Amino acid sequence: MKIGSGDPTARRFVGKDCVVTGGGGGIGRAVALRLAAEGGRVAVLDVNEEGARETLALCGGQGLAARMDVRSEADVTAVAADIEKAFGGVDVLVNNAGIEKLGTIVETAPDVWDEIMAVNLRGPYLCSRVFLPQLLARAAKGGAAVVHNASLMGQVSSPRLAAYCASKAGLISLTRSMALDFATKNLRVNCVCPGIVHTDMLERRFALKPDREAAYARVSQRPPVHYIGNPEDVAAAIAYLAADEARFVTGAALTIDGGVGAA
């Protein structure tokens, strides 16, 4: 096995079947591309079916793209059955789909709170639960991995981000619980905690500002490294945690934030 998380030619996922939720754009797309570049067969799942199809095409067309809402048990169950039929199992599950809404608890209406929890916390729980039999079957044959996309905002907090931070802190906790529950079954469970990453999610925040360029420049200075991360930075870390070379890593929350959390 060629080792090196910085090397997209390492081919660590040859013969591996991988699932990426929220793969229709942003970090999820970069993850799908990385896994495919390293030889993996990828199922790209998203509420945005067109985005998922675009990602699959960018991956070279091998694999599967489907509409799937991580909030819906019916959706996840149906898509998991399709994947079992098409792939015969799953070695790697990346629970990446997530949403962000700003607000203090006063500004966050109960239905908005519920929606954030449904996507960011219940989604990874539900997908993990439904894909578990397929993951455990592959785990028994040599190892399988779940990687959740949490956030630095699950480790620290930020004003007017109450529900998002709570959902991501919950996801870090779920990572630890799942890691312990399946440690002896050859199924590893880890999460990444990205800081500020340039995707549509961030652009939607900039869109709320009167001067987008000034906001971008200001935010770029926030990380000690003085730049904003890109989706590929997170994809590289997810690929490492998903790969067999991380066989001794489980229950970890890997921060990828240009040093923000260290300050």
Among 11, 53, 71, 222, binds ligand NAD (CB under 6 A): 71
CB 22 within 8 A of CB 98: yes
Closer residue to ligand NAD (CB): 99 or 102: 99
Closer residue to ligand NAD (CB): 30 or 144: 30
With residue 8 as reference, give the H or E element that holds it.
none
Among 197, 238, 242, 252, binds ligand NAD (CB under 6 A): 197
Active site residue 216: no
Nearest to 97 by CA among 56, 136, 51: 51
Catalytic, out of 164, 216, 227, 240 = 164
Site string for ligand NAD, 97-116 (x = CB under 6 A): xxxx----------------
State the Cα–Cα distance between residues 37 and 62, nearest whole angstrom. Answer: 11
Nearest to 37 by CA among 66, 16, 68: 16
CB 155 within 8 A of CB 193: yes
CB 175 within 8 A of CB 150: yes
Q: Is 63 in the site for ligand NAD (CB under 6 A)?
A: no
For the segment 222-261, give every residue that binds ligand NAD (CB under 6 A).
none
Q: Is 222 exposed, middle or buried (0-12, 13-18, 19+ CB in 10 A)?
A: middle
Among 39, 48, 84, 206, binds ligand NAD (CB under 6 A): 48
Closer residue to ligand NAD (CB): 22 or 143: 22
Q: How far is the CB of 140 from ligand NAD (least distance, A)?
A: 28
Give Cβ neighbours of residue 228 (< 8 Å, ≥ 6 apart). Answer: 196, 197, 198, 202, 216, 219, 220, 258
From the list 6-14, 40-48, 86-94, 247-255, the region that binds ligand NAD by CB under 6 A is 40-48
Catalytic residue set: 164
In the complex, the residues that contact ligand NAD under the rule CB under 6 A are: 21-22, 24-28, 46-48, 51, 68-71, 96-100, 119, 149, 151, 194, 196-197, 199-202
